[in-house]
């Protein structure tokens, strides 16, 4: 778990890459090295990075200063244009990053959360898809600010556990931790969902795609793996991981997919739903692992 304890004191920086050779191995390595000068708590995605700079390596207490320094360093050292959002949570930092794209910097302080979310469309809330948006429209709720005024017990009555998640996010309360960067002894793929999945069939379909993508990466590197790990993010923002060791090394998607589905049964996903699924592969054979891409999706 990242070092931040509560949403109110966290300082989360979301960096969206607007321009630059993002999938050039050398450039990505330089980008990673630059960010690690500030913190080791970095979560990578396809075209973005999320940093927890609450307790940063430079001991700078002001998140805004850290965000400005990072943005300036990226432009000066790499020549990249980036958009940056700073906020007390991952959810808010992403919204802040998108607020002034391209090449923007948006800061949301704890005391500004209510005003910031007031006019954000309701479908920007994680887990709100087309059907849920229609349900909110029937309640005359079109913006997150309006949702924040609805009593918690009413949302729970209408939406169950999801209602609690919606209410907490509408208040700006989100303790979803920043996941550390992918390690060199593991490769992983993950996918998040606009609305949580609640059926095993949907979850296994997602795991099948992740297994195929991962094994494609193994095969291109001439590697085989033995350890399969799945990661599940529940709608209530808890996270579960389960790991299994295969009898033999493999680079076959079917073997990874079958194991991942078996591990899924040892989580609460089929009861509670999931808003993110991930698969990690490790325990490689004695081939040397080449430098992994920084972003979850490889580009040809």
Q: At what angle do helices 253-264 and 200-221 cross, to 10 degrees?
A: 140
pLDDT tens-digit map of 4-41: 434 458 999 999 998 765 556 567 778 888 998 998 88
Chain centroid, CA 261 distance in Å? 21
Q: Specify the pLDDT at position 175.
A: 77
Whole-prediction pTM: 0.61
Separation CA 152–CA 129 (nearest Å): 20
Sheet of 239-250, strand order: 186-197, 274-282, 225-233, 239-250
The residue to which tokens 């005003």 are assigned: 115
Instruction: Kindly report the CATH number that applies to the domain delimited by 114-170.
Output: 1.10.150.20
Q: At what angle do helices 161-170 and 152-159 cross, to 10 degrees?
A: 140
Q: Specify the pLDDT at position 109.
A: 94
Show the CA angle centred on residue 291, arms to residues 217 and 39, nearest 5°: 115
Backbone angles phi, psi at 116, to 5 degrees: -65, -40
Q: Specify the pLDDT at position 289.
A: 43
- The DSSP 8-state label assigned to residue 123 in this structure reads G
Residues of the chain with pLDDT under 70: 1-8, 20-26, 180-185, 221, 285-300
CATH superfamily ID and name for 12-111: Reverse transcriptase/Diguanylate cyclase domain (3.30.70.270)
> Where in the chain are the domains?
12-111, 114-170, 186-282
CATH class of the domain at 186-282: alpha beta
């Amino acid at each position: 778990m990242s070092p931040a304890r509560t949403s109110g004191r966290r300082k989360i920086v979301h960096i969206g890459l607007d321009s630059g050779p993002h999938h050039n191995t050398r450039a990505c390595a330089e980008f990673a090295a630059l960010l690690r000068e500030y913190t080791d708590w970095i979560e990578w995605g396809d075209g973005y990075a999320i940093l927890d700079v609450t307790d940063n390596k430079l001991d700078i207490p002001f998140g805004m200063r850290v965000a400005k320094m990072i943005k300036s360093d990226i432009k000066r050292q790499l020549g990249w244009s980036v958009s940056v959002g700073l906020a007390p949570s991952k959810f808010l930092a992403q919204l802040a990053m998108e607020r002034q794209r391209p090449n923007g910097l948006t800061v949301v302080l704890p005391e500004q959360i209510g005003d910031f979310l007031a006019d954000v469309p309701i479908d920007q809330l994680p887990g709100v898809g087309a059907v849920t948006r229609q349900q909110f429209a029937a309640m005359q709720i079109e913006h997150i600010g309006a949702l924040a005024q609805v009593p918690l017990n009413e949302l729970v009555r209408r939406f169950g556990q999801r209602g609690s998640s919606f209410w907490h996010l509408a208040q700006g309360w989100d303790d979803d931790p920043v996941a550390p960067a992918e390690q060199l002894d593991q490769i992983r793929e993950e996918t998040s969902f606009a609305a949580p999945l609640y059926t095993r069939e949907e979850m296994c379909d997602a795991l099948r795609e992740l297994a195929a993508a991962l094994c494609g990466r193994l095969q291109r590197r001439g590697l085989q793996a033995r350890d399969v790990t799945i990661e599940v993010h529940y709608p209530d923002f808890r996270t579960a991981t389960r790991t299994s060791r295969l009898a033999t090394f493999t680079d076959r998607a079917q073997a990874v997919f079958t194991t991942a589905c078996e591990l899924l049964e040892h989580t609460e996903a089929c009861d509670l739903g999931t808003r993110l699924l991930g698969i990690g592969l490790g325990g490689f054979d004695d081939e040397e692992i080449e430098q992994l891409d920084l972003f979850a999706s490889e580009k040809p």
